[in-house]
Chain A
Amino acid sequence: MKRPQDLLYSVDESPSIPTMVGLAVQYLATVATFLILTVLIAQTAKATAVQSASLISMTLFASAIAVILQANKRIGSGELLPLSSAPAIFPPTMLAASLGGLPLVFGMVIFCGIVQAILAYLLPKIRFLFPPLVSGLLIVLIGLQLGFLGINHYLALWQAFVNNPTNGMGSLLLGVGVLAAICFLYVFSRSVFLRCFSLLLVIVIGYIIAYCFGLLGQPALTQISQSRWLFIPELSSNHFAFNSTLIVPFIIAGVICALKVIGSLSAIQKLQDDDWRKPNMQSIAKGSFVDGVGSIIAGLLGGTGINVSSSSMALTLMTKIASRKIAYYFAAILCLFAFCQKLSVILVYLPVPLIAAALVFLGTSLIYTGFKTVMPYISVPKNAIILGVSFMLGFSYGVYPDFYAHLPPAVEYFTGSALAISAVCAILLNFIFSLSLGASNHMSFEFTNTKSSLQHRHDFMTYVSHDWNISVEDMQPITIILNLLAESYAKLIDHTETFLVNISQNKQDIYVIIRCKQPFPEQNIQDLEVQIGQLSDYFSIKNKHDKGLYLKAKFLL
């Protein structure tokens, strides 16, 4: 493990208290934006103001517990991993809210948490089923759903303006102005702070403007003024319900959440180690498990689903501070906000123009992030087909909802939403296409360790990369191993050696088998093992005096 030069504080180090408090407040600012999703769920479930405030409080409280569990080395990943209301769980939660109100939301959130907790230990083994292509596609669809919801809010504002131009004008102008201001700050601002918090800042200013111009409405003002600063929400009023038609959408949400944890923890591990080659799956499994437990706690307490926050992760990567102690300060601040009824009620009465702007902006960010995730993979024809066909079929749900509404109940599990259709289609296609590759891609070549063979090896690897449509980056570790062996043999053994190299592709893995008649010098074999261990996901070496060297290594694509 090699500490990067620009890392300010690693996970076990402690910055000063003011630094930690300041960072915790920044994390709160990043996750607060996503509470809009909780507000929308409460609105869809037709919750009262008190119920909505309790929903927000409990989501924050569950996040605080999960952050502390996550920071604990024995239970969680031991890393700083701030959580927030999860956009990934949002679309199925909205379905649950409209079908069965808050009890169904709580029940299904618990189910999603259980799925994620189970997946935490299964996912490393079945990860080939969920390549970044699938998760990227799902992020795009979530972004589209959020964006459509935002545009529908704008259309409602437009309709209100058409019906009553005097009263509707203010809200419409506020909605357009807030969105323009967010975009302006995000694109034109040179200050990193302003760009990171453009959404939150503009929403706060927009709220103040709405208050000043009387756009909040009397019931909202009364409720806000009557609410208490500190309160303890009632837990006994929570009921739970379950709906089997929502199983598939919530399983998909669980998978996305688990994949997000894998990505986030890999990024944090990488941040702290310059020699990082592959993720520490033990820590990731624990992290994903605790993330699922967080959702279970949220559901049990009466909150909405939570998941690691991508924007918080971006903040960690930007500040280069990974100290786990910040998690405790962050949790303390979350608790403070969770029990402040006034703040929750203020959020509950967030004006529609602000919700519309926030949803459109969040939606566009997710669309961009999702497409960016899939971009490196679409040059491979099978990935292109998976992405294109799955997107179009998911899209068909919006174009032809009538068709899906009349399908047999058994099929409805898989076709309940655009997200479910796309996910099922992408996973199935990916699985089918992966199966075929094992049988089709094999190649072998032989090279003699001479000065001119370096170019031959390079040409061969380029050929394999082109022919199998694997990126050059994915082939890089194999090239490095081949060069490593060739150089080591050249240094250690006097005469030139012949290597037989077999490369095969199976599912999402590449296997390489290298044979050499001459055994590798025993005193150097440990160094070789360390170096190959850093490059491959699995390897075995047999080095026998009479049979020579036999090296088998696996690389995950």
Chain B
Amino acid sequence: MFGIDLGKYRTIVISIALFLLFDLGVLVLNFFISSEIASDAVNVNLAGRQRMLTQRTAKLTLQLQNRAEAGVPQEVELKELIGAFSLFDRTLSAFESGGETASGDGKPIRIAAVDDAIAQSILAEARKLWDPYKSRISAVIERGRADPDAAGALVVQAEAANLPLLKLMNDLTTRVEELAASKATLLRAVQVAGISLATANFLIILFHFIRHLRESDRELERARKETDDILRTTQDGLFLLDGSAVIGVQHSAALEKVLGTKTLAGRSFYDIISPAVTPKTLDTTREYIDLLLRHDVKEKLVASLNPLECVEVSIAQGPGEAESRYLQFGFNRVFESGKVTHLLVTANDITRRVRLERELKASEERAKGQMGLLVEILQVEPATMNQLLRSAQEGLQHINRQLREQGSAREVGGETINAIYRITHRIKGDSAALGLASLATSLHSLEDILTGLRERPVLSGEDFLPVTVRVKGLFEEIEAMHQAVARVAQIRGVISVEAPRPQHDPGVEALPFVKRWKDFATRLADEHARKVELGYHGIDMETLPESLRESINSMVNQFIRNSLVHGIEDGDTRKRRGKPEAGRISVYISARDDGGVDLSFRDDGQGISVSKVREAAVRAGRLTAEEAAAMDSRRIVGLIFEPGLSTRETVDEDGGRGAGLDSVKALVMQLGGQIRIGSTPGEYCHFRLSLGALPSLARTVSEDEKEAEEAAA
């Protein structure tokens, strides 16, 4: 319509136009009919006046006759007769064929011919009566006076015409009134029809549009709710920026958390970020946003320039404490009619991601650094290493005390430097002796600084700053080595439970309990057509309390039996596997510093077959086939300590009842301790038992044994 796209308002505009059209139609008709009624009213008045003029004319003819007979002047009556006569005549003519006459107040008035047939017939009859009457009157008027004869003849004419004319004028008045009334009725009908149409139109508009508006409202409400839900629940900070970089009225709830600021709507984006970013970043951000708002610049081209891709901001946390957070802002253009009107901005707190990336990087760096360190550490006995690290740490603490005791003295004595130098040199020597090149290099660099300081005639406290910085670095280096040593110990524990090797004391082989074990092993070996050698390292069992001694003896016997029955292969098999013909059993017992006892029992037999244990567990009804299949190897191996479980299919005096290792487990539980098993199929089986701390044992450990332990720890 008129080149304007009315869209969804088209119908309502048409309806309102119709409404106005109806109103206008009613108005025009009203105007037209009203003017008709007005002219009819004039006609009614004029017709009424015609009645009056017939009477008046008749009356004047009688007065004129009286005057003529009395012979008195008759000018006044004659003049009045002329007025009445001519007014009647003009009005009659005007009714018949339209024309001018005088209104009630004497002013000229033009009226249209009465177009009603009935009225015209009345007028025609009136004309017939009027014309002879008019001739008589005209003759008198033309003479200027009336003699008694002429007056008498006029009276006769008047008497003949007066009543019929009066009646006709009366009829005309009535007819004209009827015409006016019928027009008023038409006017009312038109008004009623017009108003009805307008009302109907209004009702259509009302119902149609209220329904549409309600639907629209519902849709809007639904859309608003969806938007609200999105903005309330999204974890991203979402908001719109207008052309002046002002934040829109709506934004996601998460935005306040991300930016750490409330009341964001309507505020300048720059004002919000300016306290958190550098002035340079702020300037670049302005330029970037300006570029994005220009529709002639391609978005993809400028995307890589985003200065807020990862921006670090500082958030105050408490007294003197600030937390660094990393925010990421993403900008997308919002177009309307091909023009960029807004920018949709997403703001995210990526602190966790950034920190993880950095930690990963740092961890990789550390790992690289530690590799070299690990190689050095692996070449040194753990106990020696620990001793060196302890000694180095103490040395550094001593250096730090020296520095601290200087306090804020302006001049520092040369003795302090010498003392620090001595400690540094000692640690360096120890490190170099153990092949710890990196530590030795760091210490050497500290020595260089100290040498430089020694050569200065006067020293101030500040001159010691590089020393303190190096000492801190050395503390950290030594802590890293401690960690590496701990890690190596862990790795050793995972790879193998190889018992620490004590210095060999040939005397222990001759101890009575060792001899008994050797005899027992040899006897069993003979019975099973095997060859075996049992070796022992460790403490004299006689130093242990009797009950513990007996328990250990019992456990070792069980392990020997287990080895000969399940572990050590026959000579041929061993040869095939590249092993010495005689199986080797190593037993080691040591007392720990905490008063506990460690027992290590190892044979170089065929090891534990996980599949055989699994089968045995199913055979013994301990597990279903499915459970056994699902269970991991560690737990399966653990089953060999369960009562009634043997991998041996036949029973004899030495095995097959599954009643051997469960007794070991029972003893360990009784003493308080734990069992670890290490085994490689076809190579070895190793049981390592840590038995509970017994205060009485601690005292029995000799100094030599302690050293042996440390060396092997």
Tell me whether A and B are bound partners: no
Instruction: Write the residues of chain B forming the contact surface with A, with a CB cutoff of 8 angstroms.
Output: none
Instruction: Write the residues of chain A forming the contact surface with B, with a CB cutoff of 8 angstroms.
Output: none
